[in-house]
Structure 1
Amino acid sequence: GCLSQYVHAAIAIASLEELQTIGKDPARSLHDAYILTGDIDASITSQWDDGKGFAPIGDFHAPFTGSFDGQGHVITGLTIQRPDQDDVGLFGCTDSAASLKNIGLNDGTIQGNWYVGGLVGVNRGCITDCRVSAAISGNYEAGGLAGRNQQGQISGCYTAGSVTGREQIGGLVGRNCGAVSDCHAASTLTTGSDSVAVGGLVGRNESGAISASTVSASVLGGGYTYYVGGLVGWHEGSITNCHVRGADDTQLSVTGRRYVGGLVGWLEAGVIEDCTAAAAVTATYHGAGLVALNKGTVTKVNAAGMVKGEKCVGGLIAENRGKVTHARSACTVTAEKILGGLIAENKGEVICCAAAGAVTGSVGVAGLVAANHGSLSQVYATGTICGESGVAGLIAANFGTLTNAYATGAVSGDGYVGGLIAVNGEQGTLSCCYGAGTVTGNEKVGGLIAINVDGTAPHCYWDTEGSHQATSAGGEGRSTAQMTAPYDPTTYVKWDFTEKWIRDTDGKENGGYPYLAQIQQLGK
């Protein structure tokens, strides 16, 4: 825990000179308890030590193990310019017994090589209720508050200013192997042309737990940067109740070359739960409103904003290899190839999800999933879909399974255009699905399915009037009257109206068409 074990009287620190003597004066050891008794103007440090400035308190070989309570006071204008040094910050390195709290740093300029943070280079102890506004720059593991959090605990902290670096760069922490809770990062992140693991809060979260934290500034990965996230660049561990949103409803940007997500760039393992992201995401490949690549579990999440890229772009997830449940995207999605309102490529399991954003591209353009190789159940899409070839209200190419699903958005393209599915492949199966949006195209057009290569589609229907399409490569055509309440007995045969579907008897919820019991309330 973060309870201090110090009971003896704390040593008062009243000046910049006294602060610098901690760990250098026998009367002020690295093991003592300290309190800051007033604000400190540290601007003179820019002239110290031939411009190197303040010398960090403690290092890897002799870490700070005591306690330091800033009592809400602020240290202004601290300069540390040590580009060849590691463990750089007001404190260089803290041990597991250390406690830092109620410290303010304002207008700081801090530069180092490895493990660079405004407050501490490497934290192994407890940091609570600290605020840092500084320009931080480091090469590896740099963060607004801490360069690395090594099994430490950070809570109630705030960062502003800027962070620049190369690998494992975060608005709060560069690399987190501990716990972060109730923190907010408003530090703008910028990187060089070939950076890795960059996040608005944490660059790389390695078996760490992040909860109840927010980001409100942009993450700008240059050139060939990959693993970029509005919250976390590369993640394994847990993220719960975290949110990415621009201050005062301005839209923040998250940019990079590959694996760029509004919340997380790459989810290696673990869980993301109860999170939202509202960002303008730009990536060449694998860009997404929430998570670029998912190998874990994503549940109870929401993405808004916009996503732009060239290939493999999704409103929620670019490539899913894990499990996604109770998720919604309202992102507008624009790309050249393989783009979906929810997911670009699904190789995992998707349950109770919805997409409502407009999707515009050239090849493989879908309201929900561009290419499905996994399973989708209890899903729907309502967005307007525009493309050239392989365009569909729900799935562009289906090689997996689809059950209990529908699409109502307008779909338009040139060839291979389907109200629900453009191409249903050999292993593609769908059941208990319908399409009800307008479908327009020039060749290979289907009200429900454009091309069916050997797949099956029992108990599936499309609205021949609503779609303006009399034919489909699968499913059964019905009139609008037969498909809307009160439903014709030959429509929705063997559908589960007890647990999966709800009859829209008054037409107020879904225009009279049935809707899904567990997800229609998403976003309402």
Structure 2
Amino acid sequence: MQNETSKNDINATENNKQISKGKTYNKECKSGENQTTVSEDGLLTNVVNCSKINENNSQKKENAISENYLTPLTSKALIQTPFFPKTYEVNGDRTITIGNVIPKQKEDVSKVPSDNEKVPDKQVVSPPNDDNDIPMPDVPNEEPEIVSPSPEVPTNPGDTEVTPENPSDSDDPVVAPEEPEEPEDPEEPVEVPDGSKSHPYKISTCLELQDIASDLQASYVLNNDIDCSDTLNWGDGIGFEPIATEEKEFQGSLDGRGFKVSNLQINRSEEDNVGVFSATKNASIKNLSFTNISVKGYDYTAGLISYIGDNTNLYNVKVSGSVEGANLEGAVGGIVATNYGILDNVESNMEIKGGWDVGGLVAQNYNLIKNSKSYSKVTSINPDTYNIGGFVGYNYETGVIENSLSTSTVSGVGESMGGFAGANGGLISLSYSNSTVSGNTHLGAFVGENHSNIENSYSVGEVRAAFGECQGGFAGGIYSNNGEITSIKNSYSKALVKGINGVGAFAGCAYDTELENVYGTGEVEGNIYFGGLVGYADSNVLTRDSYWDRETTKQPYSGSGEEKTTSDMKQKATYLNWNFNSIWNINSNINNGYPYLYGVPTN
């Protein structure tokens, strides 16, 4: 017989177990079984399959509400329920709901399911309970609140929404996690010029170029082409002021970076050491050009630098324009007056006027010049001065010039005038001159007066003298160096020579010198002591394996050397003991069939 039931005592059986009001049975909830919960009034029975509960429990961590939303709870403790959604107060004016989130509604008794209906399964999110999670308060023994099923269930089991209890009355917006901002690319540091080699000062105007004088040890670069036309009006017409002095040299660096300075004017005919720079030492100037420059000074005047001191390098520089020295005995150079530095790949296209030691590129050279060119017009203004050259006025004893050329016009009434060098006391090699020289004594298409050594070089062009002596196609006069024998080796001349006394296709006059492996082919005209190779040679001249073309020179005699026909001169067999492996070559299609030099461009 069945047990009797009353309103306050309901007996039910689920899986052969007796069920009472306000109880939950089968809490262990093994798979394949159901878990049943009966409300206190006995009106609601909730039966849930244990498999669903276990699945929900496995999602605890993912469905746990964020710490940012749980930490403000102050009014009520969270109530942990196994599967029902639950709503809690936050700071007295907000609520959060754990589980299926819906707005809080009053309980509608009419919607309470009958005994025969099942309450739909609820999605449950339990608070985190790991050691690192938010600590949970003690759970009071309260009746779980029953709510109607949510019309929408989040598609992602881990989604949890946070809403105000009454959205229309709340001023607080829904807070969503902020996405981290992408880091901005670091800004490149702004380069601040400080005059160092890594951050040089930038020059954009002629005034800034002039201002180099304010810091003579700094580094500078040109920022653009610069027009200095207005310097004509500076200082009541005296123009640009030379940078630095003999006592305070420029010791910094200037890199033109391929830009040019044009129309710069200097008019200081009563001042010495005049140029864009008066003096340099331990300096570097490179990669720039000055065009249409005009410089006037008194003594030691130059288009760019009056005095280059030790350890100064001038590289890849070009200067065009005019320069003039008023002193009849003053040194004037197209680019440099006095050089103790190193010049490499420097080019002069200047008109120069001066008295003593005047050169198309450099007036006085005491160090090294290489790979450089002069296309200049050089004029001597003093009949009593010396050393006027298309490339260098005087190459002194310590001076070395190599792999360079001069295509110049040299004229005046002074002495020692040459298409390449006015006078040489150092060493010149691998160079040539294609110049016209006119004057009187010691005139040569290559060198006016030689007191040292020249090798592997040649000359073309012409030499003309109205009076005087020692006019030659290569050298005007060749002399000893303080009693020491000098020499010219592996060189030739094809220049026309018209002179007066001591006239030769290669040398006009020769004393205490050695000529080795040289030849001459240019026409010779003279009045006294003229000849095919040398016009006049003293007894101390040693000539080895050297020749002249008697047909082209129109001279059957010579002060020294051997005569040959034009045909013989074009035969390799004629030139005994000549080095045709590394110094000389011969080709019927080059140099009109005469021997030419390796490493020196033919003209």
Same structural fold, with TM-score higher than 0.5 when normalized by the shorter chain: yes
Q: Which of 324, 335, 359 is equivalent to 1:255?
A: 324
Instruction: Give the letter aligned to residue 266 of structure 1.
Output: T
Instruction: Give the letter aligned to residue 374 of structure 1.
Output: S
What does residue range 99-498 of structure 1 map to in structure 2 within 5 Å?
Answer: 99=194, 127-133=200-206, 144-157=210-223, 158=226, 160=228, 161-162=230-231, 169-170=242-243, 175-182=249-256, 184-200=260-276, 202-222=277-297, 225-236=298-309, 237-245=312-320, 252-256=321-325, 257=327, 258-267=330-339, 269-309=340-380, 310=382, 311-321=386-396, 322-336=399-413, 337-387=415-465, 388=467, 389-399=469-479, 400-426=486-512, 428-453=513-538, 454-484=540-570, 486-487=571-572, 489=573, 491-498=574-581
Shift of 1:192: 3.0
* Rounded Cα–Cα distance in structure 1 between residues aligned with 2:535 and 2:395: 25
| 8 Å contact kept, 1:198–1:219 | no
Query: Unmatched 5+ residue regions in structure 2?
Result: 1-189, 480-485
Shift of 1:184: 3.3
Query: Unmatched 5+ residue regions in structure 1?
Result: 1-68, 72-96, 101-122, 137-142, 246-251
* Rounded Cα–Cα distance in structure 2 between residues aligned with 1:419 and 1:216: 38
Alpha-carbon distance change, 185 to 196 in structure 1, aligned in 2, over 3 angstroms: farther
Question: Alpha-carbon deviations, 1:448-493, whole Å to 9, x = none?
Answer: 1011112111100000000000000100000111102x34x3x211
Shift of 1:230: 1.8
Question: Alpha-carbon deviations, 1:350-388, whole Å to 9, x = none?
Answer: 110100011111111111111111110001000111013
* Rounded Cα–Cα distance in structure 2 between residues aligned with 1:464 and 1:209: 51
Instruction: Give the letter aligned to residue 326 of structure 1.
Output: N
| 8 Å contact kept, 1:370–1:397 | yes
| 8 Å contact kept, 1:179–1:210 | yes
Alpha-carbon distance change, 513 to 98 in structure 1, aligned in 2, over 3 angstroms: closer
More strand by share: 1
Q: TM-score, normalised by structure 2?
A: 0.60
Instruction: Give the letter aligned to residue 551 of structure 2.
Output: E
Alpha-carbon distance change, 124 to 520 in structure 1, aligned in 2, over 3 angstroms: closer
| 8 Å contact kept, 1:254–1:262 | yes
More helix by share: 2
Larger Rg: 2
- RMSD over equivalenced CA pairs, Å: 2.6
Alpha-carbon distance change, 259 to 479 in structure 1, aligned in 2, over 3 angstroms: same
Identity %: 21
Instruction: Give the letter aligned to residue 364 of structure 1.
Output: H
* Rounded Cα–Cα distance in structure 1 between residues aligned with 2:313 and 2:300: 17
* Rounded Cα–Cα distance in structure 2 between residues aligned with 1:447 and 1:148: 60
Matched residue of 1:193: which SS? coil
Shift of 1:501: 0.6
Q: TM-score, normalised by structure 1?
A: 0.68
Matched residue of 1:358: which SS? strand
Alpha-carbon distance change, 451 to 319 in structure 1, aligned in 2, over 3 angstroms: same
Q: How many residues align?
A: 382
Alpha-carbon distance change, 234 to 189 in structure 1, aligned in 2, over 3 angstroms: farther
Shift of 1:422: 1.0
* Rounded Cα–Cα distance in structure 1 between residues aligned with 2:260 and 2:292: 10
| 8 Å contact kept, 1:168–1:197 | no
Instruction: Give the letter aligned to residue 432 of structure 1.
Output: N
Instruction: Give the letter aligned to residue 581 of structure 2.
Output: T
| 8 Å contact kept, 1:411–1:440 | yes
Shift of 1:313: 0.4
Matched residue of 2:489: which SS? strand
* Rounded Cα–Cα distance in structure 2 between residues aligned with 1:320 and 1:199: 21
* Rounded Cα–Cα distance in structure 1 between residues aligned with 2:409 and 2:214: 35
Match of residue 145 from structure 2: none
| 8 Å contact kept, 1:265–1:292 | yes
Shift of 1:312: 1.5
* Rounded Cα–Cα distance in structure 2 between residues aligned with 1:204 and 1:210: 12
